[in-house]
Chain A
Amino acid sequence: MKTEDFEFLSGMLKERSGLMLTPDKVYLLESRLTPLARKRGLDTLDALVQKLRMSRDEGLIKDVTEAMTTNESFFFRDNTPFELFKDHVLPAMDKARGTQKRLRIWCAAASTGQEPYSLAILLRENWMKWQNWNIEIVGTDICTQVLEKAKAGTYSQFEVQRGLPIQMLIKYFRQEGDQWRISDDIRNMVTFRPFNLLSNFIGMGTFDVIYCRNVLIYFDQTTKKGVLERMRKCLADDGTLFLGAAETVLGITDAFRPVRGHRGMYVPTDGAAEKLMGLG
């Protein structure tokens, strides 16, 4: 690929999705965009780049952005963030929100839905406790294609075997041909909608828990800082933020600080969440 074509594409991707593409990732552009070019009746990736340069075709730009974002996900991914949710976050929220019985959770890079559904399953496992609560789980992603799959709640045999204990498959899924569909009880607990983390967060309201895992790694420092600081503004003072295992707030922003001994868990620097969770 010509250097100027790479620069054009990576510039466009950064502007649209925050995705930082370094020159060693040229192979990713080639492997993911060549099939898209063919689908559009273009012979080569060069032709696709030409078309993008000439037309600024919004539909095509969107397809390119979606093809380049990574959408791998599985149930109870990394396990710890879910253990912490169950053992610390939920008891703390029970204490702090026991009167209004209202809980809002945001999965900011929900991909095909496994993360918000895993949280819904954990709540369902202790449903006696939570059934009278008004619980909102919002799953957002920049990629509308993955959100369609998330909404359908249908997964392949391969997908339900990565991270999902068999007892939960029995309890919360039913078989439809060679696919497995999550039960309506779980599906109805989660709302999915498209959202770009580069946009402003006005209208998101206030959340008690935010999961934003394995997405900041694709952003540069300035973009990370912006996203984290906007997240702070829509997270309750006693709320909790979960980042991916390879991500951190350190050296990026003072809005959050890590919870000692619990990797991936962050709280507002000026907040009271740790004390509430018995972790302070």
Chain B
Amino acid sequence: MKLCLVVDDSKVIRKVARRILEELNFEIEEAVDGQDALDVCDRNMPDVVLLDWNMPVMDGLDFLKALRSREGVEQPVVVFCTTENDMAHIRTAIEAGANEYIMKPFDREIIEAKFSQVGLL
């Protein structure tokens, strides 16, 4: 079973994402901001991170940059999942090492489509 880390400061979003991903046979860890997510990664690196952008303490982009600069670890797939839906944000995320990008609102079909594109399904 693959481990997916869901990073979002909204409890509702985490719950929705968890439900969809559990149905797709993922084991789920949750984090409430970028720093929390880094701590989880250092403890137990997930296979994939579903990542919000705007969060308190540390945002998604800073988390991604910190994660990608970690050496000697198996880098997970990172899928952004955010309300930021303009081309500039998308480019920035991809350049920083995101593998896919979901614009909120999302549903099961979009998660499924994006996760299969990056070879997770």
Sorting the interface of chain B by its residue count into under 10, 10 to 19, 20 to 34 or 35 or more gives 10 to 19
**B residues less than 8 Å from A167 (CB atoms):** 94
Docked-complex contact B113 and A162, CB < 8 angstroms: yes
Any A CB within 8 A of the CB of B86 = yes
Main secondary structure of the interface of B (DSSP, over half): helix
Any B CB within 8 A of the CB of A170 = yes
Residue of A nearest to B111 (CB): A161
Shortest distance between the CB of A122 and any CB in chain B (Å): 15
Interface size on A, residues (CB 8 A): 14
Residue of B nearest to A158 (CB): B110
Give the residue of B86, B101, B110 whose beta carbon is less than 8 angstroms from that of A162.
B110
How many A-B residue pairs lie within 8 Å, measured between CB atoms? 31
Any B CB within 8 A of the CB of A174 = yes
Shortest distance between the CB of A125 and any CB in chain B (Å): 15
**B residues less than 8 Å from A161 (CB atoms):** 102-103, 106, 110, 113-114
Using a CB–CB distance below 8 Å, which chain B residues touch chain A? 85-87, 90-91, 94, 100-103, 106, 109-110, 113-114, 116-117
Besides A161-B103, A170-B87, A174-B87, 16 other CB < 8 A contacts?
Answer: A157-B85, A157-B103, A161-B102, A161-B106, A162-B109, A163-B113, A165-B100, A165-B117, A166-B90, A166-B101, A166-B114, A169-B90, A170-B91, A170-B94, A175-B86, A175-B87
